[in-house]
Amino acid sequence: MRSAKDFFAPLAVGAPQPVREVPARPTRMIHFFDPSNPKMAAKVPDMIGTVDVLLGNLEDAVKADNKLAARQGLVDIAKATDFGPTQLWTRINALDSPWVLDDLTTLVTEIGDKLDVIMVPKVQGAEDIHYIDRLLAQLEAKAGLTRPILVHAILETARGMVNVEEICGASPRMQGISLGPADLAADRKMKTTRVGGGHPGYLVRQDPVDGDIQGQRSTYQQDLWHYTVARMVDACAMHGIYAYYGPFGDIKDVVACEDQFRNAFLLGCVGTWTLHPAQIAIARKVFSPDPADVAHAYRVKAAMGDGTGAVMLDGKMEDDASLKQCLVMVELAQQLGA
Ligand code: GLV
Ligand code: MG
């Protein structure tokens, strides 16, 4: 683990950055709240310990007229609250907005000691992370903070997607990346109108067999986000940071929400955003390993002895590589105390 001192070392732009071990704290759900909404703000104390991350959102979904109230609301909540095991994150406004400089200045100097991670929207390339990194270093020094604030980028522009590898490695502060399916869809000119999830028109149809009526063959809906999530996961894994699904806007469709979260989990994501209390239990269930998978992983571990060679277990061949997969499950279970 790198020390805090390393975080404040000047960043040599373009130089390869060492992989930083990120703190192994589970972040299965990043629960969004609007600090300018008194009803939502009042619920914050009750959520401590029940969600892994509470995120005070300042960006999209907060009306322009409420931006200052949201920022001040977050300061007030953070000062008045002991977050215990729950991490406190914020999503600042976009780097080209009129609010972001004051967001950073106010939050880091007023509540920097409480903030674990700053989520940066619409990140386009490493230069955006370098900018945030430098600014954070200055503000942390001014505020006398000894613990570095980490950075999380949202992938929600085509340019950000193309630059995802350099974004992940742009600073040792990088904690992780989330998919931003709504903005990304718009930027790519996809033909969707939703916040995350699938589309019934994105499908494959079975080949015709004799007797089939044209147009009535079985169809299977495909996952619109498979390529994007897989690419994001690879970039994160290469740099030792965490990948997350993002928002799922159809709050009532808990089935599709669970499916979308599970696809992301199986592909390597560690968590997701939750926009409504109904999604918290779904995220907890999906992003915690199945006890049967964990039990199997421990059996393979025991059967593999020193970890080399191959063994047969329940008629299946296990070897060094299947053991490594099992160890991913074991490690996650241990982090979650499962
Ligand atoms: C999230 O911010 C999104 O655009 O999906
Ligand atoms: Mg967005």
Ligand 1 neighbourhood includes 280 CB (under 6 angstroms): no
pLDDT score of 18? 41
Ligand 1 in reach of 120 Cβ (< 6 A):
no
| pLDDT of residue 86 exceeding 90 | yes
Neighbours of 41 (CB within 10 A): 18
Ligand 1 atom at minimum distance from 186 CA:
4
Pocket test for ligand 1, best of 57, 59, 93, 154 (most atoms within 8 A of CB): 154
Atom of ligand 1 at shortest range from CA of 59? 2
| Distance, CA of 51 to CA of 253 (rounded, Å) | 21
Whole-angstrom Cα distance, residue 257 to residue 248?
A: 6
The string of pLDDT tens digits covering residues 308-336 is 999 999 999 999 999 999 999 999 999 88
Give the rounded distance of the alpha carbon of 112 from its chain centre.
21
The pLDDT score that the predictor gives to residue 217 is 87
Give residue 21's pLDDT band: very low, low, confident or very high (50, 70, 90): very low
Ligand 1 atom closest to 183 (CA): 4
Which residue of 184, 244, 250 sits with most ligand 1 atoms within 8 Å of its CB, as the best mutation to test the pocket? 184
CA of 179 to the centre of ligand 2 (A): 9
21-24 — which CB contacts under 8 Å span 24+ positions? 21/240, 22/150, 22/175, 22/176, 22/240, 22/241, 22/242, 24/335
Average pLDDT, the chain: 92
Closest approach atom of ligand 1 to CA 196: 5
Q: What is the mean pLDDT of residues 218-236?
A: 96
Does the interface ipTM go beyond 0.90? yes
Instruction: Give the tens place of pLDDT for each residue, 291-301.
Output: 999 999 999 99
> Would you say the CB of residue 197 lies under 6 angstroms from ligand 1?
no
The whole-number pLDDT of residue 242 equals 96
**Does 207 show up as a binding residue in the annotation?**
no
- pLDDT confidence band for 26 (50 / 70 / 90): confident
Of 2-11, 22-31, 145-154, which one has max mean pLDDT? 145-154
pLDDT value at 137 more than 80? yes
pLDDT tens column, 99-108: 999 999 999 9
Mean pLDDT value of segment 237-263: 97
Ligand 1 site, residue 169, Cβ cutoff 6 A: no
Instruction: Please give the distance, rounded to the nearest whole angstrom, from the Cα atom of residue 150 to the centre of ligand 2.
Output: 20
Band of the pLDDT at 22, cuts 50, 70, 90?
Answer: very low
Other beta carbons within 10 angstroms of residue 230's beta carbon come to 15
Kindly indicate the confidence band of residue 38, based on its pLDDT and cuts at 50, 70 and 90: very high
Residues that place a CB less than 5 A from ion ligand 2: 156, 180, 183
Which pLDDT does position 51 carry in this prediction?
Answer: 97
Give the whole-angstrom CA distance, residue 93 versus residue 142: 22
Cα-based angle 279, 282, 286 (whole degrees, multiple of 5): 140
Residue of 156, 157, 244, 260 best suited for mutating to test ligand 1, as the one with most atoms within 8 Å of CB: 156
